[in-house]
């Protein structure tokens, strides 16, 4: 069990204000990580409360289990939050739920997990290490067109075509095996003048896109959000933290569809599709971290919080 699995929870005050946990209630954290958000919620739930902590990373389950062992109401469940209906006990309804879609600090800071473009490490990037396909497998087997599309769709990478081309050229000589192999492909694809002007690491968008593709993070997301809302009691709330624009657009669209699911023509005098709202969007937009929080935790700078409340 990793001793250094620490997670500094992002937007913690805002999450607690939104969820407003009360003694004896039932909650679920679908992306448990180091247990920072979960611990804060459990402290408010008291001995009669219950929190289900879900994560597909065994290291997270072990670390959070140790951190939260003093809370009798904590129950760890290993799995993907996309599968909430099969993970939670049948019939359990929630007073609130939380999904933090970011990569944990532990995963980023543990070189052998392969998430970081700063360290030489095997190209792994699996959230769940029971999964067979690694980032190296994906990069060495996927057709060039599919790699290009993933870099564009999941990373907003303007140099997607050239990076995909360099990856295929490189693997034609020898398979990509390490994080630095992938960084070298990005460096070869993006002109030096462009790289010098980049505010961050030139490979960050590529690593993000490959991680999303390997872990299939986005395709099931919209349905998963609906499943989570349907698990809420009337008045229960779901908070979702996102860290890049692709995720945020999906969450925003899904929440708006829950609030206004009607598919009738805009000029139709009455609704005939029969679709009913299941939730209302809170805040009217996304909540951003304060300047003080960003100063204390640089990884909070891109975080956004969106939330919905289950309707009767």
Quick check: is 130 in a domain?
A: yes
Boundaries of domain holding 223: 12-101+218-310
CATH of the domain at 122: 1.10.150.170
Residue 239: strand pairing partners: 98, 307
Q: How many domains does the chain have?
A: 2
pLDDT in tens, 59-68: 999 999 999 9
Last residue of a domain, one of 160, 190, 215: 215
- Determine contact, residues 45/75, Cβ cutoff 8 Å: no
Stretches where the chain sits below pLDDT 70 are 1-7
pLDDT, position 1: 41
- Specify whether 146 is located in the same domain as 81: no
Quick check: is 209 in a domain?
A: yes
Tokens 């290490």 correspond to 129
pLDDT, position 270: 84
pLDDT, position 5: 56
Quick check: is 197 in a domain?
A: yes
3-state secondary structure of 113: helix
Last residue of a domain, one of 166, 185, 215: 215
pLDDT in tens, 129-155: 999 999 999 999 999 999 999 999 999
Distance CA 187, CA 110 (A): 23
- Specify whether 203 is located in the same domain as 118: yes
How far the first Cα of the chain sits from its last, in Å, is: 42
- The 3-class SS string of 261-304 reads CCCCCCCCCCCCCCCCCCEEECCCCCECCCHHHHHHCHHHCCCE
**Which of these, 126, 123, 120, lies nearest to 107 by C-alpha position?**
126
pLDDT, position 268: 83
Q: Which two tokens stand for residue 154?
A: 């999941």
pLDDT, position 4: 52
């Amino acid at each position: 069990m990793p001793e250094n699995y620490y997670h500094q929870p992002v937007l913690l005050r805002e999450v607690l204000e939104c969820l407003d946990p009360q003694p004896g209630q039932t909650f679920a954290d679908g992306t448990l990580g180091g247990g920072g958000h979960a611990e804060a919620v459990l402290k408010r739930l008291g001995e009669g409360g219950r929190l289900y902590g879900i994560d597909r990373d065994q290291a997270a389950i072990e670390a959070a289990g140790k951190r939260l062992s003093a809370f009798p109401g904590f129950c760890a469940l290993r799995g993907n939050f996309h599968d909430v209906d099969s993970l939670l006990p049948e019939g359990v309804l929630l007073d609130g739920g939380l999904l933090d879609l970011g990569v944990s600090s532990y995963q980023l800071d543990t070189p052998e997990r392969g998430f970081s473009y700063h360290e030489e490490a095997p190209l792994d990037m699996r959230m769940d290490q029971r999964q067979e396909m690694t980032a190296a497998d994906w990069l060495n087997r996927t057709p060039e067109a599919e790699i290009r599309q993933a870099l564009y769709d999941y990373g907003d990478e303007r140099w997607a075509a050239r990076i995909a081309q360099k990856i295929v050229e490189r693997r034609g000589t020898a398979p990509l095996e390490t994080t630095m192999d992938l960084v070298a492909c990005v460096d070869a694809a993006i002109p030096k003048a462009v790289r010098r002007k980049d505010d961050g690491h030139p490979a960050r968008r590529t690593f993000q896109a490959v991680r999303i593709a390997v872990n299939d993070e986005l395709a099931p997301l919209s349905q998963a959000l609906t499943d989570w809302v349907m698990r809420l009691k009337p008045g229960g709330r779901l908070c979702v933290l996102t860290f890049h624009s692709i995720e945020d657009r999906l969450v925003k669209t899904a929440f708006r569809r829950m609030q206004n699911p009607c598919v009738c023509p805009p000029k139709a005098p009455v609704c005939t599709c029969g679709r009913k709202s299941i939730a209302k969007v809170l805040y009217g937009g996304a909540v951003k971290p304060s300047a003080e929080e960003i100063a204390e935790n640089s990884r909070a700078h891109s975080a956004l919080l969106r939330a919905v409340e289950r309707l009767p």
